[in-house]
Structure 1
Amino acid sequence: MQKQTISTRPIRSLEDALERCQVLGMRVSRQRRFILELLWQANEHLSAREIYDRLNQQGKEIGHTSVYQNLEALSSQGIIECIERCDGRLYGNISDSHSHVNCIDTNQILDVHVQLPEDFLRQIEEQTGVRITDYSINFYGYRNSEES
């Protein structure tokens, strides 16, 4: 029963991510640890190529294939986030429910935790007949106010 509790807890730190790997029986290889450490240090969404480049710049030799395979394994198990975009996938460190601010001019995706008022959620439930159990919101905007 303890395993069930651990595996459904949100992952909010590198330690949580490493623990989840162990609970799920995933080997925490040197490469997998490098990728998780980088995602938690970067605190932003990165492409597989950016992850590969940054790790190699840090002197942590890791192959393209290893990066892709580890990202796929980690995201398929819910340990990291994978965002599908028209120009490819981006990976981030937060796997629990959250929303995104998409910055149009910098092409960044920022994680934010938004809590909608209960009366607003009830209003949506009444309009749709669907009981809301979770939600995620995508915001779009410019960092440069001149662009808007």
Structure 2
Amino acid sequence: MPFPLTHDDPHHIGPYRLIARLGSGGMGTVYLARSAGGRTVALKTMHAAIASDTTCRTRFRLESDAARVIGGLHGAEVVDADPRAETPWLATEYVLGPPLDEAVRLAGPLPEPSVRALGAALCGALGQLHGSDVVHRDLKPSNIMITAYGPKV
């Protein structure tokens, strides 16, 4: 669910115009953004306070690499990224659908066949990541988007 930008949010990051906030966590903020050509993306940035920390920057770069590995089948397709920018950022396709935790909160427990299908799709996603020597360190229901085409990590 998008939230309005705050007074201290930038108006642009890289070539993208920020439209709204999608969320914020320990490492950064995710924005709804639009390219000059009109493509809507989810744009993740690092918090300025940690952008100068080499370890955090490396972790962000590895997350960008992992997103490219998982690709559009099991995750959001990477559109663009600049992990070396003053404020590192990653732009992915905007995935339309609720996070798993919100879907369950709104509609109740999933039926058993849906849980089995969800589990199989998540195993496929994690198998693809692990096969590329990438470990997803933040897999939780709020990071699993439920889409018309299946779950995306």
- Regarding TM over 0.5, the answer is no
Whose strand fraction is larger, Structure 1's or Structure 2's?
2
Whose helix fraction is larger, Structure 1's or Structure 2's?
1
Greater RCO, 1 or 2 (C-alpha within 8 Å, sep 6+) = 1
Q: How high is the TM-score relative to the length of structure 1?
A: 0.26
